[in-house]
Amino acid sequence: MHQNNETNPAEMMKAAKRMVNLKKYDRAAEILEDIIAKYPNWLSPYVILYDVLCELGKPENALKVLLDAKFNIPFNLPIRKKLVEYYLQDGDKESAREVLDSTRLLFPNDNWVRITMEKLRSPFVTKTMAELYKQQGYKDDARSIYEKLNKIEEQ
């Protein structure tokens, strides 16, 4: 049985990419949304649709695409990275931290996750900050501050 171009996922993707190359972003978005509706576990259409929506100046829609991708493909590191980057560009460090926390649990040895978490940590190294972190349940952050304080005292 042969699928026609409107139902063959590879042909649909080729058409979407052709529309992107021609800068016909609205049409590309339609095709990509159709692909995602039919194949919600396929990563590529989400990534391309995200980029297309950014080109169209629709950041809220682009964010929704990333959230949908994270929901449908929850163990995908590239989608989680894009989501963190989106939040950081938007200045939403708290949402970035939330995604990073769950991502660290899924990918504990990923260097990008570790480095990004370090960048988001508070620059304040005081006993008060450690206590605040501890009270809020951020025990790893509190421990890290205590360790830094101990190193400072030893010097």
CATH of the domain spanning 1-73: 1.25.40.10
| Amino acid identity, position 152 | I
Token couple for 101: 């926390």
User: Rounded distance, CA 93 to CA 146, Å?
Assistant: 23
User: Rounded distance, CA 22 to CA 20, Å?
Assistant: 5
Q: Count of residues for the chain?
A: 155
Which pTM does this prediction carry?
0.71
Domain ranges of the chain: 1-73, 83-120, 123-155
Mean of pLDDT over the chain = 88
Nearest to 17 by CA among 5, 3, 31, 4: 31
Interval 66-110: pLDDT, tens: 999 999 999 999 999 999 999 988 888 889 999 999 999 999 999
Residue 50 and residue 65 in contact, taking contact as beta carbons nearer than 8 Å: yes
